[in-house]
Amino acid sequence: MSFLIFLFLPLLSVALQVKNLVTFGDSYTDIVNVGDGGTAWPVYAAGYADLTLYPFARSGATCSNNITFRPFPSIFESQLPLYFAEKHNGSIKVNPTETLYTQWIGTNDVGVYSLLTGSNDASLVDVVGCMVNWVRVLYEDGARNFLVQNMVPLNKVILYAPDSYPNRYFNGARNTSEWSVFMRELVLSGNSLSRAMLQALVPEVPGAHIGIFDSHGLFQDIYDNPAEYLNGTAPLNITGAVVSCVYTEGGGSSVCTTAEGTDRDSFLWYDELHPSEQADRIVARNIGSVARGEDNRWTTWIS
């Protein structure tokens, strides 16, 4: 006799109607030191969904400098303390039931000078555990609506592509094919692990709504079907960048090319590491729809 065992996960529909957007993360989300060379996605999302934006993401950040150290304001050592200080001294006032908290982190945690190059003793488990702990810490302070944005296919960005070249983010010698394969595994494993750990967290946070925004799936779809997303006046480009700078290997000189005007909206990437402004508009439209309580192709609610 044989048995078939099926595991069913609940298909949840969470009808959020939020008024506030609180963002944490790195240069993919920072509205001051903007990674896309234009306007960051949270500004667009707040406009699309008529939200009050409270931006705490900072360029260069990792989840925790105690895990993957970088000399930038990390989520746990800088961004969360600043949020708590401003909330508790009355500088910002948010109703937890009317506020969506987002986190988009990981690019610096798994990248150069971190997990990819073995620059510290951390593991992927440590990094993902930190990402998930962000939910727990905010929940204990009263937050209830969470959207965790997973990592994009970083093996597709120029820095980690098989045919990468020396650039502003890394101009030393390296095996680009090996980097690309390793980065793909780090991202896929990290995204799967974060989903599993978030699902395991659900019983600890009753009343919380936790959504996973599939940035990886969205960016892979843009890569595979650029004509459905990119609308610039130059030929559509998913492998180049709006601003591309080829450095002399090991040196400081560079040769740069820059797309101008509406040609910029033909690119998936702004530079060798960051999404373009057009890609960020797409992210913003989707997260704006989540904030309006609409069903969204790239969002899965696990609680």
> Average pLDDT by consecutive 10-residue portion of the chain (303 residues)?
36 76 98 98 98 98 97 98 97 95 98 94 97 98 98 98 97 96 98 98 98 98 98 98 91 90 98 98 98 95 98
| Order of all β-strands in the sheet with 299-301 | 52-55, 20-25, 99-104, 145-149, 209-213, 299-301
Instruction: Give the pair of three-digit tokens for residue 222.
Output: 């843009």
Q: What is the pLDDT of residue 1?
A: 35
Q: What is the pLDDT of residue 265?
A: 98
Q: What is the pLDDT of residue 3?
A: 33
DSSP letter (8 states) at residue 181: H
> DSSP readout, 147-161?
EEE----GGGSGGGS
Q: Which residues pair with 24 in a beta bridge?
A: 103
Q: What is the dihedral of CA 245, 250, 251, 257, to 10 degrees?
A: -10
> CB–CB of 287/277 below 8 Å?
no
Closest among 286, 285, 284 to 298, alpha carbons compared: 286
Q: What is the pLDDT of residue 32?
A: 98
Q: What is the pLDDT of residue 2?
A: 33
| Domain boundaries, given as residue ranges, for the chain | 20-155+169-217+280-292
DSSP letter (8 states) at residue 170: B
Q: What is the pLDDT of residue 13?
A: 60
Q: Which residues pair with 21 in a beta bridge?
A: 53, 100
Helix (H) or strand (E) holding 257: strand 254-258
Q: Which residues pair with 56 in a beta bridge?
A: none
> CB–CB of 278/38 below 8 Å?
no
Contacts of 72 (CB under 8 A, 6+ apart): 26, 58, 59, 60, 61, 62, 108
For the domain made up of 20-155+169-217+280-292, the CATH class stated in words is alpha beta
Q: What is the pLDDT of residue 6?
A: 32
Q: What is the pLDDT of residue 253?
A: 83
Q: What is the pLDDT of residue 10?
A: 45
